[in-house]
Structure 1
Amino acid sequence: MATWGIGPYANDFAQDWAEDLQESNDLYFIENTLDNVLSSEQADVLEAPYGAEGLAAVETLLRLFGREGESDEDTQAVDDWVGAIKGRFRPRADLFEKAGRVLDLILSERSELRQLWQDSEHDEPWRAGVLAQKARLQE
């Protein structure tokens, strides 16, 4: 996985996901991504691509409902999409519940993405970023 930062969009999988998001004009793509990640809840391993897409989906959901994190060039495509559809949807408790479960799974021992970060010198800041997403979900 090509990664250039610790943010939820700072990798190839998340950038590809953000490109696909541009073809959507509703919450289905985000919910489908969360469901894909959650389909691994009973599996031995959550593969890294699903984890990366899950983080991007959670961050996009947060941005859509005014709980955004930092913005930079990696977030530009998502920020543009959010700006175009913001206000068209009401927050859905079921999506926030799924997003919380996704983050729990990504932080679990079964997460390949977590294992990759644990093997790097950036594990603590990455984990702090995921925990910050979790805190914003609960606002």
Structure 2
Amino acid sequence: MGTWGIGSFENDDAGDFMIDLLDSGDLSLVREVLDNVLTSTEYVEAPDATLAIVAAEIVAAARGRPTFAAQREEGLADWLARIQPTIDADLATQARDALTRILADHSELRELWEETDDLHDWQAVVTELRSHLDP
């Protein structure tokens, strides 16, 4: 995985996902990647986790609670204005639950960050994003 920072959008998988999302007309991609994390039985794979973090960013932004990273993400605000997605409480809860799984044991992405000096900073970014999904 090409990663150049701890931020949600600072990796190749996120960039590819955003290209696909901005070409779409609904939240189906967001729902799909969140579902991949929530239905994984024992172990959350890193690519699934990376995409779920971006999906959670989109859910938070669509609820009117974007992180600073989401505010800076090129094209996201325009896409949200064009699509005007409705975020129900269930989708926000799914995004929050996915982030909780990604931060917990049995997460390959967490394990990868544990091998770096940036683990605590990465955890802080994901935890802050999760707070944007609070009811």
Which residue matches 1:37? 37
Q: 1:72, CA displacement in angstroms?
A: 7.5
* Count of residue pairs the alignment pairs up: 135
User: Is the CA contact (8 Å cut-off) linking 2:58 and 2:70 kept in structure 1?
Assistant: no
Q: What is the percentage of aligned positions where both structures have the same residue?
A: 36
Which residue matches 1:57? 55
Aligned partner letter, 1:108 = A
Structure 1 unmatched ranges of 5 or more: none
Secondary structure of the residue aligned to 1:105 is helix
Distance 2:98 2:69 in 1: 22
Q: 1:80, CA displacement in angstroms?
A: 3.3
Q: Please identify, of 65-74 and 29-38, the stretch whose mean Cα deviation from structure 2 is larger.
A: 65-74
Which residue matches 1:126? 122
Q: Among 48, 63, 66, which residue is 2:64 paired with?
A: 66
Which residue matches 1:10? 10
Q: 1:71 to 1:8 in 2, by over 3 A?
A: closer
Q: 1:30 to 1:72 in 2, by over 3 A?
A: closer
Secondary structure of the residue aligned to 2:23 is coil
Q: 1:89, CA displacement in angstroms?
A: 3.1
TM-score w.r.t. the length of structure 1 is 0.88
User: Is the CA contact (8 Å cut-off) linking 1:33 and 1:53 kept in structure 2?
Assistant: yes
Aligned partner letter, 2:56 = V
Distance 2:38 2:70 in 1: 28
Q: 1:84, CA displacement in angstroms?
A: 2.6
Which residue matches 1:76? 74
Deviations 1:31-59 (Å, cap 9, x if unpaired)? 1111122121x22x211100000000000
Runs of 4+ in structure 1 deviating by more than 6 angstroms, as ranges, are none
Distance 2:70 2:28 in 1: 25
Deviations 1:120-139 (Å, cap 9, x if unpaired)? 11111110011101111115
Which residue matches 2:28? 28
